Homo-oligomer: A and B are copies of this chain.
C-alpha cells in the first residue's frame, strides 16, 4: 500500500509541482527573494534574478494560482450565468465575454440556469463560494425575486446584467433597446400594406417583452392605426405555447397577414406549425422576428426581416464594464455610486430571399 512512496521517482512523475520554496532551498535564498526576483523587483540584484529565473524555467515552475488567489483576495475569475448555451444568442455573447476576459487575463466560470430560477440561485451561491471577482448574468426568464443578487452586494461582488435584465433600479446593465427595432419592424410591415399585425411576445415579466409591446403600440399610433390588444399574445417561448399563440392569432376575427415574433425560435415554431397543419394562408403570412439565428438562411420559410440584437457587442460591453469596475476596486477608488447603464440600439435587418 505504502510501498510506492519508497520507490525512486522516475524523473518527474508523481513529484509535486515545484514551488518558490523549493527554488529558494536549492539556491540557498530566502523565499521572498525568489518571489521578488521572479517579479523583477528592483531591490534584487541582476545576478540573482538570472539565477532564479533560469532555475525556475528549468524546473518548469508555474506559480500556484490558488495560493495567489488566497493571498490577494481575488481569483481573477468572472462568473457567467446565462439561460441556455445552445441558444445562438448566448453562445455568441459568451464568445465575446471569453475574448475580452482572456485579453485581460481573467478566466471565465460558466454556468447555465436553463431558465430555472432555483438553479439560478444555486449557481449564484456557487459562484459566491468560488469567490469569483465579479458576475455577468442574463437572468432566467421566470426569475421573479432578486434577493440572491442582493446577497452578492454584501460580499462586494459586482454584477453586470446583460440582455435579460431584472427590473431593478441600482444595477449595472447592458441591454439592447428593443423598442427602436420593434418600431422599425412595424414601420416596415405597415409600409408593405399590412394592417392586422400579430405579436407573439415573451413572458410578461421580462423587460424585453415590455419593450416589444411598447414599440409595437407606439409604431401603430404613429401610423394612425389603432391598437388591438387581442393581436398581442404573451407566451413562455416554448414550442407548445407558441403554437397555441399562433392558433389564437389565426382564429382572430381580423385576418392577420403579418406576425412579429419574440425571436427566431418563436418564428420557427410558428412557421412550422402553419406548415404542419396545412394552414392555407401559411405562405401569405409575413414574419418578422428578433435575434438573427445564423441558420435562418437555411430554413424553408424565412422571416422577411429580423431585429438584430448584437449579442457579441452586448457580451463585450458587459465584460468591459465588469472589468472596469474590478479595476476601480483594485485601485481603491472611492466607491463610485454611479451605475453603468448601456443601451445598444437594435436594428431591423431584411433577410435576403
Contact = CB atoms under 8 A, between A and B. Distances in A.
B129 A65 contact: yes
B85 A91 contact: yes
30 contacts: A1-B334, A12-B154, A13-B153, A13-B154, A17-B155, A60-B154, A63-B129, A64-B131, A65-B129, A66-B66, A66-B69, A69-B70, A70-B70, A85-B85, A85-B91, A85-B95, A86-B91, A86-B92, A86-B95, A91-B91, A98-B111, A102-B126, A108-B110, A108-B111, A109-B109, A268-B295, A271-B298, A272-B298, A298-B299, A300-B300
Contacts of A299: 298-300
A63 B125 CA distance: 12
A152 to B, nearest CB: 11
Interface residues of A, number: 51
Closest 5 CB pairs of A and B: A300-B300, A66-B69, A110-B110, A86-B91, A85-B91
Interface of A: 1, 4, 12-14, 17, 60, 62-67, 69-70, 75, 85-86, 88, 91-92, 94-95, 98, 102, 107-112, 126, 128-131, 153-156, 268, 271-272, 293, 295, 297-300, 334-335
A102 B127 CA distance: 12
Contacts of A91: 85-86, 91
A66 B268 contact: no
A226 B239 CA distance: 46
A297 B275 CA distance: 12
A81 to B, nearest CB: 12
Contacts of A63: 129
A109 B111 contact: no
Contacts of A126: 102, 107
A66 B75 contact: yes
A131 B75 CA distance: 12
Contacts of A94: 85, 112
Given A69-B69, A129-B62, A299-B298, A109 B107 contact: yes
B86 A14 contact: no
Nearest to A88: B86
A4 B126 CA distance: 31
A95 B65 CA distance: 27
Nearest to A269: B298
A298 B107 contact: no
A240 to B, nearest CB: 16
A66 B271 CA distance: 50
A36 B35 CA distance: 34
A6 to B, nearest CB: 13
Given A17-B155, A293-B295, A295-B295, 16 more contacts: A4-B335, A14-B335, A65-B131, A66-B66, A70-B70, A85-B91, A85-B94, A86-B88, A94-B112, A98-B111, A107-B130, A109-B109, A268-B298, A271-B298, A299-B299, A299-B300
Contacts of A88: 86
Nearest to A2: B332
Contact of A95 (B75, B107, B112, B154): B112
Contact of A70 (B67, B109, B272, B300): B67
A156 B299 CA distance: 48
A56 B266 CA distance: 47
Nearest to A66: B69
